[in-house]
């Protein structure tokens, strides 16, 4: 049995009521990374399935998480690319 929040339609991230029930973030049945793993990796909050807090997120937050994952991955790749370009130039100049 969960708490009143665990059973509520409130979004685990923004605490607004998610229309249509929202998407569960602790779905281990899918082969792709669960939303909880992505949230814990990319966002400054940690979510655990402790039965006390909501287990779904709203569509708006789902879109936001996906965009954040995409942005951060792209930026990290960009930094690597800039460093390798710099290295190539520095080797050429030697």
The contact mask relative to Zn ion for 50-79 (x = CB under 5 A, - = no) is: --------x--x------------------
Site membership for Zn ion, residue 47 (CB under 5 A): no
Contact with Zn ion (CB under 5 A) among 14, 66, 72, 75: 14
Is position 56 annotated in a ligand binding site? Answer: no
Residue nearer to Zn ion on the CB measure, 14 or 85: 14
Handedness of CA 67, 68, 70, 75 (dihedral sign): positive
Whether 57 and 36 have beta carbons less than 8 Å apart is answered as no
Would the annotation count 61 as a binding residue? yes
3-state secondary structure of 33: coil
Q: What whole-number distance in Å separates Cα of residue 20 and Cα of residue 52?
A: 21
Enumerate the known binding-site residues.
11, 14, 58, 61
């Amino acid at each position: 049995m969960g708490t009143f929040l665990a059973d509520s339609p409130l979004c685990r991230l923004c605490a607004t009521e998610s229309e249509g029930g929202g998407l569960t973030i602790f779905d281990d049945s899918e082969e792709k990374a669960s939303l909880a793993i992505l949230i814990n990796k990319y966002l400054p909050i940690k979510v655990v399935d402790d039965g006390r807090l909501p287990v779904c997120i709203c569509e708006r937050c789902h879109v936001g998480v996906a965009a954040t994952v995409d942005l951060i991955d792209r930026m990290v790749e960009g930094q690597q690319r800039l460093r390798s370009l710099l290295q190539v130039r520095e080797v050429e100049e030697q």
